[in-house]
Structure 1
Amino acid sequence: MISTIGLNTKALKKEPFSGSHHGMRYYLCTKDDVLSVFLYPEPWSFERTPDKEKEKKDFPFTQEGLDAAIDWINQSYEAKRPFWEQKAKDRMKLLL
């Protein structure tokens, strides 16, 4: 389960939110009334990861939309758990 302690729509309105969980990175940002969520593999930052490696889904920028986005992140992790766990194991190989 992804930990999003303190994450709310007020915080997201001010600046993007990012984190990682066992090889999967996520990035949440808003524009107008849309909450965009990106998933991508470790080890690179959002800016350094090629767009072709990112998965994106949009949600309404409401508390319900944020809750749905977090659910989607968790479901996506579980659906591809072996892939994400392998990315976590391989991250140091890429850096060396």
Structure 2
Amino acid sequence: MIDYKDVMPISFLKKEPFTGSWQGMRYRIEKAEIPISEDSDEKKTVLGVCIWPQPFCYDKTEESEKTRETFEFTPEGLSQCVDWLNTKYTDEKKRWTRD
């Protein structure tokens, strides 16, 4: 499983996306800006997370193959992100082990 200590800290994610993989599941974690509400120009900073199956990189994978989620841009949010990644891996194991 993915361990919290294997993921870059928030200070790194402020500047660069972090990519990794775990037994067929690839993932990308990055700082993202999302609207606070539909009718507002204000934005909120969050952790944007995306997962997709191997073999291709993020840019070469079809959008239909990607699953996205957001979390608070805090160390606690990063911990929740890692928990989500591990849950998605377990819940969708066949998706990651295409033979």
- TM bucket by the smaller chain? 0.7 to 0.9
Map 1:29-44 → 2, pairs under 5 A: 29-32=30-33, 33-44=45-56
- Closer, same or farther: CA 67–58 of 1 in aligned 2, 3 Å: same
Which of 15-24 and 28-37 deviates more? 28-37
Q: Quote the offset at 1:7 in angstroms.
A: 1.5
Q: Partners of 1:35 and 1:73 in 2: how far apart? A: 13
The residue number in structure 2 matching 1:75 is: 87
Q: Give unpaired runs (5+ residues) of structure 1.
A: 90-96
Percent of aligned positions with the same letter in both sequences? 38
Which of 77-86 and 49-58 deviates more? 77-86
The TM-score, its normalising length taken from structure 1, stands at 0.83
Corresponding pairs, count:
87
The TM-score, its normalising length taken from structure 2, stands at 0.81
The residue number in structure 2 matching 1:11 is: 12
Q: Give unpaired runs (5+ residues) of structure 2.
A: 34-44
Query: Over aligned residue pairs, what C-alpha RMSD do you find?
Result: 1.4
Please point out which of 43, 63, 68 is paired with 2:75.
Answer: 63
